[in-house]
Amino acid sequence: MELGISRWSPLFRTVQKSFFKFYILRSQMSLTGTSMGSGGQTARKAVNFGRTYVVRPKGKHQATVVWLHGLGDNGSSWSQLLETLPLPNIKWICPTSPTRPVSIFGGFPSTAWFDVGDLSENAADDLEGLDASAAHVANLLSTEPADIKLGVGGFSMGAATSLYCASCCALGKYGNGNPYPAKISTVVGLSGWLPCSKTLKNKLEGENEAVTRAASLPVLLCHGTSDDVVPYKFGEKSSGTLKAAGFQNVIFKSYSGLGHFTIPEEMDQVCAWLSSNLGLDGSSS
């Protein structure tokens, strides 16, 4: 599957611009000495999600994938890129997260699927924010026809949210214990990490139905070795944690020299993965 770098370059620059805005803002907040609190510690207000962008299938509708943007971005930039993919049978739903105070920005408001205090292995998980975003994804998928296969994917914080959705799907419930309704067929995470990784294995142990669901859910993780925002080791460890918890169909792809952005070669892998795991036949009618 050849996508052609010249055709893709403007769209990749669109996606990368959102990352650079985030990276520059984070650097500025650090330079001014702003302290970083723990994830989930900011005051809560009503969760109001932003605009959702939908890319209609150009061919026969066989699958619907919710794709989640990264911190500081919105659904528009990814919808433009996804529309160019040679996947005519997929309907893409690209929501925009709420704008909320983000601890890593010292409380400065930004689009974010959940709060994050720092990108470290000991960072607190914002369960309330994660549950709200996972519920939003499930709601977006709830009106799809019964014969349509469902997927979720994302970049950076969007990838983290997608992996949290995978956990909820396997467990059959959100972190707050409420039932999780979406029947997801595949998950993709680019340059992200696994939230609540320390407790996932214990939650799955002894839950036979959950173990079965985890074992049958395909997960693709991709990460650049030169990622200086979400370190490569986070992606690598997330893959290992999922496998140890019972997710038997986890593929981890590394890209030498790749920073915190995506490239055509990586999206080629995503296309192949989705085509295979969603059973797409490539029909255009």
Question: Which residues are marked as active site?
Answer: 156, 227, 260
Radius of gyration over alpha carbons of the chain, in Å? Answer: 18
Number of residues that this document lists for the chain: 285
- Please report, for residues 64, 88, 139, 221, the alpha-carbon distance to residue 145 in angstroms, rounded to integers and kept in the order given: 10, 17, 13, 27
> Tokens 């499930």 map to which residue?
138
Give the span between the Cα atoms of 44 and 129, in whole angstroms.
Answer: 9
Q: Which of 168, 150, 239, 159 is nearest to 204 (CA)?
A: 168
Q: What's the rounded Cα separation, in Å, for the pair 154 and 177?
A: 24
Residue 228, exposed/middle/buried by CB under 10 A (0-12, 13-18, 19+)?
exposed
In sequence order, the 6+-apart residues with CB closer than 8 A to the CB of 276 are: none
Could you tell me the strand order of the sheet in which 90-94 lies?
Answer: 53-55, 90-94, 63-68, 149-155, 186-190, 219-224, 250-255
Question: Cα(first)–Cα(last) distance of the chain, in Å?
Answer: 20
Residues 62 and 279 sit within 8 Å (Cβ to Cβ): yes
Cα(82)–Cα(8) distance, integer angstroms: 11
